[in-house]
């Protein structure tokens, strides 16, 4: 069907050799993919690397990351071609470091690490209570009390540590909110993250999650055979041990609670974890593996996205005022937004969608071809690892005019621009059957919190702060602290002139 690329692609243990060939039946091109000089790339520079290399080499090129060789895809059209051919059981990556830990400790794989038919079975069990709107909307009753506590904590931090105006390290505080929120949904319990004095065990768990993601980014740069000899691997195992111990303790407490309820009156009520425990479709080990992975995936999306939302709204007072008026029109007076109310707030959703375009939590996703596929006129063999450069595509001027500007209106139907956008220009929650399992819950958390924050506070930039840029630590997050002013709207304070 064409000529084989000149590069010799080596794959880690367990993966067959793979290369691309030009498909002469679909394209006249027979040249191999461009390959940048092979040199280490700092994890923190990956987002800039996407844009720079796509500018130099075009929308399709090959790179090496430690032992991995990947085909980078940096156009909406080509990303669509990859995702449309992903098959019934899409494969992101092997995630060998996560999988090796589970095999080492005889832990079950969850929706992030399982593959094939076993993955499909897990997703079919987990999906309904995570993705069906009627089930997700019910979680608002668990999330809104967490929002109440966060708003109180925000005001307390401002008044006691920010001289009555500034909240420092907003992302760190929102991480506590997101952790508390997802625990209230998954484990049906509160962890005390928003207490004035956070429980030591909760603080250690939160720190362990961050350390696990950091170590994950380090380990993939080394060959698999070297891991047992690395201090970072030993620490990685210890961190995962702690995460599973805490999750196992929470599951055990829920089981004991359900047993007490059954003994008292025979009636058992609960939400997500209760449904899994009583459903009889998964073993306890499988529930533990799945619930732990869902927890890890559910924190950073909410905390980082709301941080960037507020950062941008503080810099765009007109958009913030429009959002405030929308929230107030739907929920006047002391009315608290719920899932039904936020469904009537198109600008609120557009603000979140535009934030996820500018700052995709996962700047680059991956797919492994499950069979031969043609992308951009090139034929790729089975087991080719594709890196989908979502960050670069988010800033593609041909897809998003004025791409560096924060313009939520581009997502509103009456603006007309949404109808002209490529559907794969921004896919922050993935696509198809392997799309983000926790998307609906994360969106509900963000909508409920953001609507109430904007209703209660006017958000302004910190005069002592500067521009904040993103950095990649496995996930996309702020490179420096985001500090913002929160002014009570009831105070009647007006925004000072820009010169002040």
* Binding-site sequence positions for heme: 436
Q: What is the DSSP string of 386-437?
A: EEE-HHHHHT-TTTSTTTTS--GGGG-GGGSHHHHS-TTS--TT--GGGS-T
Q: Where are the alpha helices (DSSP H) in 316-385?
A: 317-330, 339-342, 346-358
Q: Which residues are annotated as a binding site?
A: 436
DSSP 8-state code for residue 66: T
- Diameter over CA atoms, the chain: 74
| Percent composition of the chain: helix, strand, coil (DSSP 3-state, to 5) | 55, 10, 35
Q: What is the DSSP string of 186-224?
A: HTSS---TTSSS--HHHHHHHHHHHHHHHHHHHHTTS-G
How far lies 154's CA from each of 114, 218, 338, 358, in Å? 39, 34, 20, 25
Structure tokens at 261: 């309820």
Contacts of 106 (CB under 8 A, 6+ apart): none
Consecutive H or E run containing 286: helix 284-315
Contacts of 413 (CB under 8 A, 6+ apart): 346, 419
Structure tokens at 141: 């009753």
């Amino acid at each position: 069907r064409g000529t084989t690329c000149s590069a010799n692609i080596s794959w880690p243990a367990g993966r067959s050799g793979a290369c691309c060939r030009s498909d002469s039946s679909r394209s006249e091109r027979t040249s191999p993919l461009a390959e940048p000089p092979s040199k280490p790339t700092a994890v923190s520079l990956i987002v800039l690397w996407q844009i720079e290399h796509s500018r130099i080499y075009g929308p399709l090129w090959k790179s090496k990351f430690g032992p991995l060789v990947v085909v980078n895809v940096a156009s909406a059209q080509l990303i669509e071609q990859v995702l449309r051919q992903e098959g019934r059981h899409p494969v992101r990556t092997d995630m060998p470091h996560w999988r090796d830990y589970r095999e080492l400790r005889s832990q079950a794989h969850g929706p992030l690490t399982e593959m094939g038919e076993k993955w499909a079975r897990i997703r079919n069990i987990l999906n309904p209570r995570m993705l069906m709107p009627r089930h997700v909307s019910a979680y608002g009753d668990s999330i809104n009390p967490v929002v109440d506590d966060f708003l109180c904590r925000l005001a307390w931090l401002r008044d006691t540590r920010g001289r009555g105006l500034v909240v420092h390290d907003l992302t760190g505080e929102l991480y506590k909110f997101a952790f508390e929120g997802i625990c209230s949904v998954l484990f049906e319990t509160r962890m005390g993250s928003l207490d004035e004095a956070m429980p030591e065990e909760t603080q250690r768990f939160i720190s362990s999650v961050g350390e696990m993601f950091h170590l994950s980014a380090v380990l993939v740069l080394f060959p698999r055979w070297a891991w047992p000899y690395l201090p970072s691997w030993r620490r990685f195992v210890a961190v995962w041990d702690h995460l599973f111990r805490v999750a196992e303790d929470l599951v055990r407490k829920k089981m004991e609670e359900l047993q007490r309820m059954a003994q008292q009156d025979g009636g058992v009520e609960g939400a997500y974890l209760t449904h899994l425990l009583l459903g009889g479709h998964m073993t306890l080990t499988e529930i533990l593996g799945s619930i732990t992975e869902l927890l890890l995936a559910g924190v950073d999306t909410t905390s980082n996205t709301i941080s960037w939302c507020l950062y941008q709204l503080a810099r765009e007072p007109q958009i913030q005022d429009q959002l405030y008026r929308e929230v107030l029109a739907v929920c006047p007076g002391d009315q608290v937004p719920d899932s039904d109310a936020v469904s009537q707030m198109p600008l609120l959703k557009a603000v979140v969608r535009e934030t996820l375009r500018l700052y995709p939590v996962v700047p680059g996703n991956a797919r492994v071809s499950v069979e031969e596929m043609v992308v951009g006129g090139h034929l790729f063999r089975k087991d080719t690892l594709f890196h989908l450069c979502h960050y670069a595509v988010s800033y593609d001027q041909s897809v998003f005019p004025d791409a560096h500007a924060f313009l939520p209106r581009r997502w509103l139907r009456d603006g007309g621009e949404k109808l002209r956008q490529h559907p794969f220009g921004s896919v922050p929650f993935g696509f198809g059957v392997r799309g983000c399992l926790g998307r609906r819950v994360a969106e509900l958390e963000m909508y409920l919190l953001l609507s109430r924050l904007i209703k209660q506070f006017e958000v302004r930039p910190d005069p002592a702060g500067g521009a904040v840029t993103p950095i990649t630590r496995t996930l996309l997050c702020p490179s420096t602290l985001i500090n913002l002013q929160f002014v009570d709207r009831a105070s009647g304070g007006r925004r000072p002139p820009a010169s002040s």
